[in-house]
A and B are shown apart, each in its own frame.
Chain A
């Protein structure tokens, strides 16, 4: 036994090596499992959450407390059980699956009639275009990069074409099954790496405490599927080295399928997983080169060719198919860097953490819970890193986990800027793979060192629970509880009025009309999806139509931009308009009125639709060759 294997040994509290370990499986089968009662409890909590959501739509005071109570009801038993030592592997897996699906259903209950999140509508459009044409890679103006990563839409449209389901129903089912695959793969990956079902269960639990697991990564978006495929790829890649020759073909094929599918599903996940695989391979190579005498096959296992294939596959896909992803991602990265530099040079103030997207203040309790979430992780992280280092430092995969986990504090710095926050939202899903494992190793070590004292077990379970509560507290308030549309609130801006207006445009004006729409408002996604219109955007058309909206008057510049964008219709959302005015002008100056009527007074502009919040103008006259740019205003 090597040095590394000896130091790992004490942690193998409840070893189960998975495939083919018959004695362990036989023993496990005899143990009692609490997973079914907890599934029932979770279902009761979900029913209460549905009631809380209805209460929230009715603006009742009891909705929020009931929601929080139900949320804790889902988590508390799972946190306690997964922290304990003497429970069956099958129960741990069952609890991970129940929790993963339960948290997904929290999101499903939030919007049970249709997709309401902007990202979902972007992918709705890609799926719709595939259904219309039977072909991939159709242009999508509201997310130009989406058609070039069609993995999610491939699965969804397969289900739709064969079953006749709607995009919403099929998408909801696909993400649900994806969540099942994710939970299982994540658990098995952690178990494969650690050799401990307890560490695996706790790691999977802590992963789900990542703030974006509940809503952002549960939406009908390519990242949700890619993360599941990433976890599956990592699991089978790790399994590959430990497998006997007769099974290696199977796991190698599984790894290739998972990898290939992930690469054509989501860019950032592919980049991140490639990075993880390369780091793992690099560390293994270093270990083999420098410590070849004492290295065993178990500790120097590495992804080998899978890492190289991941690199080649990802780069090839970007180079030959999805090259627009560079133009899509680079402004975000540039924006984050310039904002961080500006922050460091004291040229700008950090983002206000505790202000909602509509500018409202966040309750003190939620602020404290959010702080507790970050602080509890940051405090425990060094301890976990130290434990992993002490016990597993000869294992390249473990060291890769450390490398990934220590990115977490860096991400917190990026959260200080608005653009950084958007990037952190995406990156957290990957970074938490390492964070969760490191924290779980630290927690299990602590429990073992103190002989599994009941008070300490409860302490660790409470720590997990607080992290979960903080994760939910840090979620945008309107994502927690549904209700009427709120001006400036991204996820609550899409209501039936906007959907109905978009559908009206499709039915009365036809599809694929070139529309101008306010970029800062999610109604652009309704128009581009349910409305099936061709929204003119800066990314797709290189025309910055936002100036048309932000100018106090309907100027010649506005007319020029509309003509340049070949815009036929202009969509005005009074919510967006109101916010824009609050940000840019003082209402007392009387410019508000000028803003709201600026299109009405423009001579060749017809006001063809009015539903109160949404007004549609026909501006096609500006496309006429004879259109004089200067003399059209009354």
Chain B
């Protein structure tokens, strides 16, 4: 068995495994990605290139043709799946890409067996020095490190700090209107708030000592008599303990 046949057999086995991993909905995300990425971006094109030509291709040309054909297949495949009514879902995709890869690789393998006596010698490829492999591996590690540094920076610095206040009307009966109030903090540190509820500028209810850590949410529901609010308005004012004089946030609901 020549090298080409081994390659094609490996593609067949890999594709079957990829179909299995996706069809069985394996939960381990890195494993799925390991199989899905080649199934979309490399294998269909590689199998088609192998089927269409018996010549030896330089690595760069083979890679480019494999990538380009695979990408083209994925782009046009979406349109095809839409047109035939299968929809762009996981099963349809894996059937489409998997079947193309399997058929093309099997055809190429069949031809490779048939023509193995006339197979051309492989193109000379210098062995890749271990030092180069090590440098590329180190480069990849550094890129992962750079990404982590960038994520850390984006998560911890330069982000806007804010507090959300909302008021959403919920159920209404003939006599009462239920309204939900909520406060969510994304400030840098834990803050102490005070929430005032006013009906027609008269204090109706108050919540003191609302302490919210970053990421924390406080919610409450209030049922108000409609008669109390006729032609008037309901307003909620949120104050920060460190800035008690000015309403930090406010929301208003008006009787219709």
Point out residues on A near B: beta carbons under 8 Å: 18-22, 25-26, 29-30, 33, 35-37, 39-40, 42-44, 46-47, 49-51, 53-54, 56-59, 90, 93, 105, 108-113, 130, 134-137, 150-151, 153-155, 157-159, 161-165, 173, 177-178, 180-181, 184-185, 188, 225, 228-229, 232, 235-236, 246-247, 249-250, 253-254, 257-258, 260-261, 264-265, 482-485, 495-497, 500-501, 504, 508-509, 600, 603-613, 621
Contact = CB atoms under 8 A, between A and B. Distances in A.
Contacts of A33: 132
Nearest to B85: A135
A57 B157 contact: yes
7 contacts: A26-B124, A43-B146, A47-B146, A113-B154, A249-B52, A496-B186, A500-B164
B167 A43 contact: no
A20 B56 contact: yes
B251 A609 contact: yes
Given A26-B124, A40-B135, A235-B64, A610 B153 contact: no
Contacts of B33: 163, 165
Nearest to B163: A611
Given A135-B82, A247-B55, A47 B125 contact: no
A162 B52 contact: no
Contact of A150 (B65, B78, B89): B78
Interface in B147-193: 147, 149-155, 157-160, 162-169, 184, 186
B63 interface: yes
B79 A58 contact: no
Contacts of B256: 604, 621
- Of A137, A229, A606, the most chain B CB neighbours within 10 A belong to A606
A305 B175 CA distance: 76
B124 A178 contact: no
- The SS class assigned to the A binding surface is helix
B90 A161 contact: yes
B72 A258 contact: yes
Interface string B62-96: 01110111011111111100100001111001100
Interface stretch (B1-9, B35-43, B194-202, B203-211): B35-43
A-B pairs, top 10 by smallest CB distance, nearest first, are A154-B78, A54-B153, A57-B158, A257-B72, A134-B87, A43-B142, A250-B52, A261-B75, A43-B139, A57-B157
Given A173-B37, A181-B64, A261-B76, A54 B149 contact: yes
Contacts of A608: 166-168, 251, 253
Interface string B20-41: 0010000001001100110111
Contacts of A609: 164-167, 251
B220 interface: no
A154 B80 CA distance: 10
B249 interface: yes
A501 B79 CA distance: 35
Contacts of B253: 606, 608
A155 B149 contact: no
Contacts of B246: none
B68 A254 contact: yes
A495 B139 contact: no
Given A257-B69, A260-B72, A508-B166, A109 B88 contact: no
B147 A184 contact: no
Interface of B: 22, 29, 32-33, 36-37, 39-41, 48-49, 52-58, 60-61, 63-65, 67-69, 71-79, 82, 87-90, 93-94, 97, 123-126, 131-133, 135-136, 138-143, 145-147, 149-155, 157-160, 162-169, 184, 186, 249-254, 256
A158 B93 contact: yes
Contact of B252 (A42, A257, A600, A613): A600
A267 to B, nearest CB: 15
Contacts of B56: 20, 22
A254 to B, nearest CB: 6
Contacts of B75: 151, 154-155, 225, 229, 260-261, 264-265
Nearest to B41: A177
B88 A504 contact: no
Nearest to A51: B149
B68 A258 contact: yes
A608 to B, nearest CB: 6
A54 B157 contact: yes
B150 A18 contact: no
Contact of A130 (B49, B88, B158): B88
Contacts of A151: 75, 78
Contact of A26 (B39, B123, B132, B135): B123
Contacts of B165: 609-611
B164 A504 contact: yes
Contacts of B36: 159, 162-163
Given A130-B88, A162-B36, 8 more contacts: A25-B123, A29-B126, A36-B133, A37-B135, A57-B157, A154-B76, A158-B40, A232-B71
A254 B73 CA distance: 10
B219 to A, nearest CB: 10
Nearest to A30: B126
A338 B160 CA distance: 40
A228 B167 CA distance: 48
Contact of A508 (B22, B71, B168): B168
A485 B60 CA distance: 43
Nearest to B149: A50
B162 A613 contact: yes
B71 A108 contact: no
A373 to B, nearest CB: 26
A587 B138 CA distance: 56
A231 to B, nearest CB: 9
A594 B208 CA distance: 32
A253 B164 contact: no
Nearest to A244: B55
Given A40-B142, A47-B146, A607 B252 contact: yes
A394 to B, nearest CB: 27
Given A495-B160, A604-B254, A39 B135 contact: yes
B158 A246 contact: no
